[in-house]
Structure 1
Amino acid sequence: MYRKELFVFHEDKPAKAVIRNYTREDFAELIRIQQESFPPPFPSELWWNEEQLTNHVTLFPEGAICIEVEGVLAGSMTSLLVSYDPEHPDHTWEEVTDSGYIRNHDPDGNTLYVVDICIRPAYRKWRLGMSMMQAMYELVVHRGLERLLGGGRMPGYGRHASGMSAEAYLEKVVKGELKDPVISFLMRCGRTPVKVVANYLEDEESHNYAALMEWKNPFRSRPADPFIK
C-alpha cells in the first residue's frame, strides 16, 4: 500500500499533505467531492457510486489514491491496468475503464490507465493533481510497467472547432500557441500526446474529442544500447 507525506503550497504558504490509497471509509467523502466538482446540471448518475468505488479498492487498490491536506480529503485519482497495443490506440473511456467499474482490470497489463482525477474546487490552485500524478508515475516504475496512459479532455477546443480540426488544435496547444485547461495541465505534469481520439467521452466542450496522453517509464522506454550485451 502507498503512503507519501509531503508539503503542498498555496500562495507560497506550505501545508502538510498525505497521498495514500483510499478505502471504504473514504467513500462518502469521495462522492461528496464529485458532487462539489460536478454540480447540476451535470448528471448525478455520472458521479462515483459505491459499487464503482468498491471495485476500485477491491480489484486494484494500488491504483486508488487520494490526497489529504491538513487532514481534509481534497481529491482522488483512480487507475487500472490494461494491455495496451500502440498499434491500435483508438478506444473510448467507457470501453477501457468499463464505465468506471474497472471489472476489466488486467493484473498482467503493461499500462497504467487513468480512470479519473478529481480535485475539490477549493483546492484547485494547490497543484494537488500534479502531486497525485507523480504518485502514479511512481507506481508505474514500481510495477515495471511500460507507461501511464489516459485520455485528456480538450475543453478549449469548442471555441475553435469551427475553424480547425481537433488535431490542429492539439498541435497549437503543444506549440504553445493556444492553452487548454486540461491538455496544458497534463503537459506540465510530464505527459505527452499520442493522438487525438474521436468519440472518447460525451463532452460538449471538447466536441467528444480527447487527446490520448502518455508518460513512458524512463527505465523501460530507452532504446537498447548496441554496446551492452
Structure 2
Amino acid sequence: MTGRTPRTYWVAGTAVLLALLFAAAATVAAANGDPGAARPLPATPGLHSPDAGFARDMAVHHQQAVEMSFIVRDRTGDEAVRTLAFDIANTQANQRGMLLGWLDLWGLPKVVADEPPMSWMGTSAGHGDHAGHGAAKPGALMPGMATKEELEQLGAASGRDAEVLFLQLMTDHHRGGVAMAEGCAQQCATPVERALAQGMVDAQRSELTLMADMLGKRGAAPRG
C-alpha cells in the first residue's frame, strides 16, 4: 500500500496524541495545585496497590509493543503499517516513561519478586482469568502478550506476511492492554494515572478498529 496515509490512520494517531496530552496536562495541574483539578492528590500508593501494580505491569506490556513495532518497521516498506508502528512505538514508549517515573516518585520498585503479573486486578494468580478477559497463553507473561517464538516468527517474516502477523499480534496485545487499563481506570486511586489509563483504553480501541480494517485489506482477520 503506497501513497498518502488514509485519514483513518491520522484520526487514530490524533486520538493517541490527545490522550497523552490530556494525561500530561492533568499531571501538571495536580502538581501545581490547579483548582480545576478533580481532587487533591491521594496518599502515596502502597507496594501492592492497583496504582503501583498497573504501573509495573503496563510498563512491561508496553515494552513488548515497542519491540514489535520496531521489528515490523524493518520487515516491510508499507507506509500505513510503518506509520502505525511508529505511532505505537512513540506513544507507548512515552507512556512507559510516565509509569516508571511515577514509581520513582512514589519510591516504589519497578520489579517486585514473586508478584504474579496483574495480581493487583484481584486475581490469585498472574495467569488466571482477569476480569473475564482470559488467561495468558503458554509462554506469554500476560494476556495478549506475544511469546518468544512469535517474536522470532515476526522477525523472520517480510512483506505482507510480516504485516499480517504484526497486526494480529498487536491486536491481541491491545486487547490485553485494554483489559488491564480498564482495571486501573476503575481501581487506581491516583487521578492522573486513572486519566492515563482511560486514555489508553480509548486510543487502543480506536487502533483495534483500524487494525481490523488493515487486516481486511490484506485478506486476513484478527486471531481468535
Q: Which has the higher contact order (CA 8 A, sep 6+)?
A: 2
The structure carrying a bigger helix percent of its residues is: 2
Q: Which has the higher strand share?
A: 1
